[in-house]
Copies of this chain bind each other. A is one copy, B any other.
Amino acid sequence: MKNRLVYMDNGATTPVREEVLEAMLPFLQDQYGNPSSLHTQGREVRRAIDEAREKTACVLGADPAEIFFTSGGTESNNLALRGTARKQASAGHIITSGIEHHAVLEVCHDLENEGHRVTYLPVDRFGRIDPAAVEAAIAPDTFLISIMAANNEVGTLQPILEIGTLAREHGILFHTDAVQVVGQRPVNVNDLPIDYLSLSAHKFNGPKGVGALYKRKGVKITPLYRGGSQERKLRPGTENVPGIIGLGQALELAAAEIPYKMEYLTSLRDQLIEGLLKIEDVILNGHPQERLPGNINVSFKYIEGESILLSLDLQGIAASSGSACSSGSLEPSHVLSAIGLDQQTAHGSIRFSLGRYNNEADIEYVLEKITPIVEKLRQISPLHKTD
């Protein structure tokens, strides 16, 4: 019997906003034309997609022709990295970090197999990449730097302005995986020397399975696959129309509330962090200030993450251990290892990620429930010395 439901896994995915669903519905009902069709039904839908593209571009400070809709953050990352690598006349060098999402890291591994060299930069104990390390890593044949705007597990914001500036100074393309940041903090490609940026709708109260790649005009990439002429041939296939409409609507709404939401979530976040740190042997992972407004990542020593998650779940609290994608796996998260946590501490880490529907009562509820959970699991644990 659950008392209530407190969803604190917004870093994994977010609920679709009602207004977003409303915007999508016509495209699951009457407006069913194929946007490539010449007839009225097709042209209406084409117009709606164009509008979604304009909204997306507007929020990012981009030109609509620089927005390419994809099936999500994973595809956007793959498209940017592989697409750029395939445009190179010969194998070259890529710089990324050791804490990127798998959708960047594993592509880099592939590219290594294809003959490119990749530098995986380390991070400090807060999860920050040092721009000086980026500069030091630049080789004469470095053609791409890919550094995420914020880490999905520990929430650390990266100095992408500095890194992008370095990239530009050296004539190197700069990609940022901004999946965790778009819709949460302002991102404007006019202020930032970014050549491409990945985003995913389901992280900002849009639908799952749709994302976008911003690609600065003039930057050339090879598509991942071929077919029709949709998305200017960069991403062929009949468009996920309701998804794209949902993305545009969700992004516009999210962008409008950023200033308010940042403040609101930051305050909730810090309350939760403060409360959690009152429990003995709890450490905060990630940077104390330079972190996503809604991200809280802590390690509970002596106990194991899944059992904490399960206990929370039994109280109606949804959180995650590590990233959603890797929580099915048994290995400690590569991010937590990279910030220097030993395996056991990494295994005891939990991410609470807040979203627009969380409130103070949620924070109180979590704090009320987590204390006895930790106590009980520690009682069971042979690692915890009670004396």
Chain A residues engaging chain B, CB cutoff 8 angstroms: 7, 9, 12-16, 21, 24, 28-30, 32-34, 36-42, 71-75, 77-79, 82, 101-103, 106-107, 109-110, 200, 202, 207-210, 224-230, 236-243, 306, 309-310, 312-313, 317-321, 324-329
Contacts and interface: CB of A to CB of B under 8 A. Distances in A.
Q: Which of A42, A110, A200, A312 has the most CB of B within 10 A?
A: A42
Contacts of A107: 225-227
Identical copies in the complex: 2
A207, A229, A241: residue with the most chain B Cβ atoms closer than 10 Å? A207
A329 B229 contact: yes
14 contacts: A34-B208, A36-B328, A37-B318, A41-B318, A74-B225, A75-B237, A78-B226, A78-B227, A106-B227, A209-B237, A209-B241, A224-B224, A229-B329, A243-B243
A238 B200 contact: yes
Contacts of A319: 39
Given A237-B75, A313-B40, A29 B9 contact: no
Contacts of A324: 34, 36-37, 42, 228, 238
A220 to B, nearest CB: 16
B226 A224 contact: no
Contacts of A225: 74-75, 78-79, 82, 103, 107, 224
Residue of A79, A228, A312 with highest tally of chain B CB at under 10 A? A228
B71 A33 contact: no
B38 A207 contact: no
Q: Which 5 A-B pairs have the closest CB atoms?
A: A209-B240, A103-B227, A74-B237, A78-B225, A228-B325
Given A103-B236, A208-B240, A208-B241, A309 B227 contact: no
Contacts of A9: 33-34, 37, 39, 41-42
Contacts of A28: 16, 21, 24, 207
Q: Which of A29, A30, A236 has most B Cβ within 10 Å?
A: A236
B71 A38 contact: no
Contacts of A39: 9, 309, 312-313, 317-320
A14 to B, nearest CB: 7
